[in-house]
Structure formats: structure tokens, C-alpha cells
Amino acid sequence: MTHPLVPQIIDLATPVAAELGLEIVGAVFYTNQRPPVLRVDIRNPHQDTGLDDCERMSRALEASLDVAEIIPDAYILEISSPGISQQLVSDREFISFKGFPVIVFTSPAYSGRKEWTGQLIRRDEIKVYLNQKGRVVGIPRSQVTSVQLLDEPC
């Protein structure tokens, strides 16, 4: 069920996003968390949505929400993108998303598995490195078919 404040938040966020050349995809207000988390999903219609877009939107929307006083209590604002769960390809993306949760697909299977999840550590010429609950796993790049961000906030 959608939180009753979400339509007002979307109405407020839409012109803020438009001014930055972005679009609002949706919003969710997780009031079951302490403090509550407001997640607003954005999209850049001109290029892949990146961390810079999320940061710009976060600063602008935070200021607008503070002025509007729609949310009476403390909350956490998260800006994300549905496109952010896409595949990582460039060196810049691997650097930008260091520490983010990812899923690595391999073919053939590496150590008996075709899917590996964990926090992205880095990628070098030989391997993609993940942190799996404190254990570092290095997966040979020759077996990696894709690396995708999991659907988590930016």
C-alpha cells in the first residue's frame, strides 16, 4: 500500500527533477524503519543515470522537502534509479560502484557456481573481486559474462 504522503512528494519532486533534466520514476516511503526512509527513483532520459544525477537530485529535493515541511519527523532521503541495476561495463563504473552489492554471472561455472553475490571490491585485468561476508572472492574475468548492481539505493 502506498503511503499517503507519496503523491504529494512526487508532485513536489517532479519539477525539481525537471529543472535538473531528470524524471521521477516513483517513490516509496518506508515508515517501518527508524528513522523512516524516503526512496525516490529517478531517471536521466538523455544518458545512463549515474551517481552524479542521484547526488544532484538529493541536494535539490532535500532543500525543497525542508521548505515544504511535508514530512513532519526525521527521515532519511535516498535517491536511486531503476536503471542502476544494470550491468557494469566501464572501469569508471567499477570504481564508482565499489562497495555496492552486485551479482556476477559466470560461464562456465566458476568453483561450481554460475552466480556470485557480494560487495564489489574492484576489478583488475585478471579478476573481479567481491567481499562475501568478510571473505574475498576473486572471479577470473575470462569466466565473467556480466556484473550487475543489485537493486539497492545509490
What CATH architecture applies to the domain 91-149?
A: Roll (2.30)
pLDDT score at 153: 45
Q: How far is CA 40 from CA 17, 115, 137, 148, in A?
A: 11, 29, 33, 21
CATH number of the structural domain 6-84: 3.30.300.70
pLDDT in tens, 68-113: 999 989 999 999 876 554 678 778 778 878 888 889 999 999 999 9
- Residue 42 makes CB contacts below 8 A (sequence gap 6+) with 17, 22, 23, 24, 25, 49, 53, 54, 57, 79, 80, 81
Q: State the average pLDDT over residues 120-145.
A: 95
pLDDT in tens, 30-78: 888 889 999 898 988 888 888 899 999 999 999 999 999 999 899 999 9
CA atoms within 13 A on the CB side of 103: 11
Q: Where are the domains of the chain?
A: 6-84, 91-149
Cell of 141: 574475468
Instruction: Give the three-class secondary structure for 11.
Output: helix
